[in-house]
Amino acid sequence: MTDERAHEEAPALTHLRADGTAQMVDVSGKPETSREATAQAVLRTTAEVMGLLTSGGLPKGDALAVSRVAGIMAAKQTSTLIPLCHPLPISKVTIDFELGASEVLVRATVKTKGLTGVEMEALTAASVAALTAYDMIKAVDKHAVLSDIKVLAKSGGKSGDWAL
């Protein structure tokens, strides 16, 4: 916990009932608003693998194209993967990649007009896109690492907008 968070009062856990059992939060009383969230994941590999990735020389083919589609599909399936997430009418998913010397930064942005936010959809999209990229390069780098999975920004809803 960071020093800033240590001074904040912990919010009530809305996914728990009074008896401590899990529940899906009732969002039926919330207004429908436009919502957006952006999340990231980082795949760290070697410079040699990055060369194969950018030149199309990977044994499994175009890793970024496959990863982009996997991330989009994952965002749409979040509520089937994360038990207490609400199914949402996803209106847009964007998966972007920033290629470094030995890493791929995956950034996923998800939009909806709904009753609850899309942070989990953005996190799922970024994570699955990075996992797919790992799957595509593992034949040439079994030691690649996934890290830095986090929400970068969100907008819409009662709690307002924020960004890192």
Question: What burial class does residue 12 get, using C-beta atoms within 10 Å of its C-beta: 0-12 exposed, 13-18 middle, 19+ buried?
Answer: exposed
**Residue 1 pLDDT grade (very low, low, confident, very high; cuts 50, 70, 90):** very low
Catalytic residue among 3, 26, 96, 135: 135
**Residue 9 pLDDT grade (very low, low, confident, very high; cuts 50, 70, 90):** low
Helix (H) or strand (E) holding 148: strand 145-155
Q: What is the pLDDT of residue 3?
A: 52
The DSSP secondary-structure symbol of 93 reads: E
Residue 119, sorted as left (phi over 0), alpha (psi -120 to 50) or beta, turns out to be alpha
Q: Which residue has the higher pLDDT, 79 or 157?
A: 79
Q: Indicate if the pLDDT at residue 121 is higher than 70.
A: yes
The label of the residue with tokens 């007009």 reads 113
Q: List the single range of 13-27, 57-71, 136-150 with lowest mean pLDDT.
A: 13-27
Give per-residue pLDDT as tens, 29-50: 888 999 999 999 999 999 999 9
CATH fold group of domain 40-154: Alpha-Beta Plaits (3.30.70)
**Sheet (strand 103-114) strand order:** 90-99, 103-114, 33-44, 145-155, 162-163
Where do the structural domains in the chain lie, given as residue ranges?
40-154
Share of the chain above pLDDT 90, in %: 76
- 3 a catalytic residue: no
